[in-house]
Amino acid sequence: MKLHGILFIFALALPVVADEGMWLFNQFPGNQVKQKYSAEVTPAFLEHLRLSSVRIGGGSGSFVSPNGLIFTNHHVASDCISKLGSGRYDYMKDGFSATGQSQELQCPDMEANVLVALEDVTKQVKEAAKDETVPAEALQKRRAAIARLEKECIDKTADNCAVVKFYSGERYDLYQYRRYTDLRLVFAPEFGIAFFGGDPDNFTYPRYDLDIAFLRAYENGQPAATPQYLAWSAAGVKDAELVFVAGNPASTSRLATGSQLAFYRDAQLPLQLARLQTRIALLSGYGARNEDNRRAGQRSLFSFSNSFKSLEGKLSGLKDQRLMERKAAFEKKLRKAVESDPKLGDSAAKVWDDVALAYKAWTPMEKPFELLERPAAQGSSLFRIARQIVRLSEERAKANDQRLTEFRDSARKTLELALYSPAPIDDGLEIVLLAQYFEELKALGEKEAPVKAILQGRMPRQAAEAYVRGSKLKDVAERKRLAADPDALTKSGDAMIQLAQLVDAPARKLRKRYEDSIESLEASSVERIAQYRFKVLGATDYPDATFTPRVSFGVVKGYSGKTQKAVPFATTFGGLYQRAGKDDPYILPARWVEAKASLDPVVPLNFVSTCDITGGNSGSPTVNTRREIVGIVFDGNIESLPITYQYSEEQARSVHVASQGIVEALRKIYRADRLLKEMGQ
């Protein structure tokens, strides 16, 4: 495809690039960094950073010793921390510190993955479906090709393999991961300091949080050998310093069209926010009844609250007329260039209209799709387990390349780790969340969901109690029995299994419709738009985030807030004690109060940088030009949330815990000498 017109028009129209980009490790703009910062980023630097970084839980982390020690956020590890607790021990509230390896506690269902190899497989995937193929058919053929490539990789290496789509299908890479499934908790501070300031301070700055945790990867019952790890900086972070962040940004929509952004703004995000808001209120009330309820619901409440504030910030960004106008202006230039190109013309430019029409047609289906398929009974562990068992039974009977993505051979180990987790499940929490789900289904109506069959004349609360009490799925052995035997599943009579079966048919129908109307766009119109953009920008353009390893760069730098008041690059221990109070969420843990006099008040605790991040980067190591850890990402400020759609470094900042502050706390408050020694401190 020759795009002479596009190249000519955009020769003078390319945007100025700042510290922007969640870059692929094999597509890092080294020349740009060298020109701007006089710093050499070598292939060896990038390889070491990649092999030392891990994807863990819903976030990121890094190896910081040759013996499998993993450094991540408290909130990334909180699923493990909360599940290890009991009525006797509340590790979320009180923290945890292993005095030796024999005291390190095994996480029930957490895994870490390291990207050890990557290969461009675009040709193999795209040749499976030529340009003239009907979009829905092309999508299916490409999925089959992807499944075959993944299985071949797994059979050859025994590693975790996944084909990753970039630029809406313009490029495909095969990623090979080393997987660690035996992770053990080594250290976690108290929730009160890990999430100091609570929800009011979440996604804000200045911050004063020790949002860190240490885990250890084991293999064959012994600490894993991890020769590629990141050393700790002796000097720590400095103002105006060039830093790099390696992590797994979850999702961005910077390549989305204006019509896609309008769909997110007007349909998807308001629906998701409404569902989260209801659950936050429910769990707040549930936790207020007693201490057991509070502990059982804390992890879910934190997750829902964090997601709500994040989505709220993104919606605010999409309501900003300036953002939408900039997107429209860029899109107009690109479309005009396509129309002006003699090889393309008006017919090629109509792909934007195709996308707009598809999303307009899909909009009425978004609510039933979310309620029945993604994520369906939001927050319910029992429903998730039941659905996985029901679908596993059906999908296993199909050829690997014909299965739903999450049931292919490439996803089997991850699926089983979650499905057979021994983590406790709280009946009361399940009932509260399921009752709310049934209220949503009632509002959706019988036309879209089998409401009568689900409720059977009962009120939502009564039905929820019956489904929870009538299930044995809290028993891992029972899950394994049903998952292994289709006949046993058919005859089980388990109430949660029956609920999952009732919802499954209409959910699958909606999923198929979504694939045929929206996902198939990525094998046709959206991919074509990406081709135009890719031809223009090439290697100077990075793909949207896909929860796969990326590296970004930036400088440690303060900014001016909304009132134009200067916000310094770092906060200190002294500032923490000034911020502390007598009411939650500003009450310091007792040991922090006791240790105040021993701490250096000017040591940095948190800092900000211009590094380009998003959700999924939590736990990402922040390193200097010597590949030494100077911090760890744990948040972004409120101004950073709209950069999901368009980057800006004017006020948007990533927020990090400073390496100096971590050492200060571990040494003087927690007396974690064993841990510090392993970190080389």
Q: pLDDT tens across 400-442, in order?
A: 999 999 999 999 999 999 999 999 999 999 999 999 999 999 9
Q: What is the pLDDT of residue 7?
A: 45
How far, in Å, CA of 10 to CA of 532, rounded?
11
Q: What pLDDT, on a 0 to 100 scale, did the predictor assign at position 538?
A: 64
Please say whether the dihedral angle defined by the alpha carbons of residues 605, 611, 615 and 617, taken in this order, is positive or negative. negative
Query: Does the structure show a pLDDT above 60 at 3?
Result: no
Residue 12 has pLDDT above 60, yes or no: no
Most confident range, picked from 117-131, 487-501, 562-576 = 487-501
| Residue 132, pLDDT score | 62
Integer Cα distance of 236 and 94 in angstroms: 28
Q: Distance (Å, rounded) from C-alpha 71 to C-alpha 619?
A: 7
**Around 238, how many Cα atoms within 13 Å sit in the side-chain half-sphere?**
9
Tokens 């997110």 found at = 264
Give the model's confidence band at 74: pLDDT under 50 very low, under 70 low, under 90 confident, else very high: very high
Whether domain 25-102+183-254+543-678 has CATH 2.40.10.120: yes
Q: What residues contact residue 261 under an 8 Å CB cut-off, 6+ apart?
A: 253, 318, 324, 327, 645
Q: Grade residue 4 by pLDDT with cuts at 50, 70 and 90.
A: very low
- For the segment 344-355, the average pLDDT, to the nearest whole number, is 82
Q: Encode pLDDT of 352-406 as tens digits.
A: 999 999 999 999 999 999 999 999 999 999 999 999 999 999 999 999 999 999 9
CA atoms within 13 A on the CB side of 371: 24
Question: Per mean pLDDT, which range of 9-13, 45-49, 423-427, 659-663 is the poorest?
Answer: 9-13
pLDDT at 296 over 80: yes
- Please report which confidence band the pLDDT of residue 9 belongs to, taking 50, 70 and 90 as the band edges: very low
Q: How far apart are CA 159 and CA 154, in angstroms?
A: 6
* Rounded mean pLDDT, 237-256: 96
Is the bond preceding 364 in cis, omega lying within 30 degrees of 0?
no
- Residue 13: its pLDDT value, please? 42
Which residue reads 């003087």 in tokens? Answer: 668
Q: What is the pLDDT of residue 565?
A: 87
Residue 539 pLDDT: 62
Cα angle 168-173-177, degrees, rounded to a multiple of 5: 125
Residues 298-311: tens digit of each pLDDT: 999 999 999 999 99
What residues contact 427, with CB distance under 8 A and at least 6 apart? 468, 469
Please state, in angstroms and as integers, the Cα–Cα distance from residue 9 to each residue in 13, 16, 537, 540, following that order.
7, 16, 12, 17
Rounded average pLDDT over 227-232: 98
CA 31 to each of CA 39, 89, 540, 585, 589: distance values in angstroms, whole numbers, following the listed order: 9, 52, 11, 45, 47
Query: Three-state DSSP class for 628?
Result: strand
- List, for residues 124-171, the tens digit of each pLDDT value: 999 998 766 688 888 899 999 999 999 999 999 999 999 999 988 889
Q: Which two tokens stand for residue 482?
A: 């049903």
Q: How far apart are CA 569 and CA 327, in angstroms?
A: 30
pLDDT at position 286, please? 97
Query: CA end-to-end span of the chain, whole Å?
Result: 56
Percent of the chain with pLDDT over 70: 96
The per-residue pLDDT for 521 is: 82
Residue 406 three-state SS: helix
Residue 11 — pLDDT band, cuts 50, 70, 90?
A: very low
Q: What does the pLDDT read at residue 347?
A: 72
Q: Above 70 in pLDDT, residue 579?
A: yes
- Residue 511: which residues within 8 A CB-CB, separation 6 or more? 369, 373
The answer for residues whose C-beta is within 8 angstroms of residue 44's C-beta and 6 or more apart is: none
Mean pLDDT for the stretch of residues 522-529: 78
The residue ranges of DSSP E strands in 124-277, in sequence order, are: 160-166, 171-180, 182-188, 213-219, 222-223, 231-232, 242-247
Count Cβ atoms below 10 Å from residue 651 Cβ, excluding itself.
15
The overall average pLDDT reported for the chain is 93
> What digits encode the pLDDT tens for the residues 474-497?
999 999 999 999 999 999 999 999
Which residues make up the CATH 2.40.10.120 domain(s) of the chain? 25-102+183-254+543-678
Strand partners, 213: 72
Write down how long the chain is.
Answer: 681
Q: Which of 154, 99, 35, 20 is nearest to 647 (CA)?
A: 20
In this prediction, residue 88 has a pLDDT band, given cuts at 50, 70 and 90, of confident
The dihedral sign for the CA sequence 57, 62, 68, 74: negative
**Is the model more confident about 510 or about 130?**
510
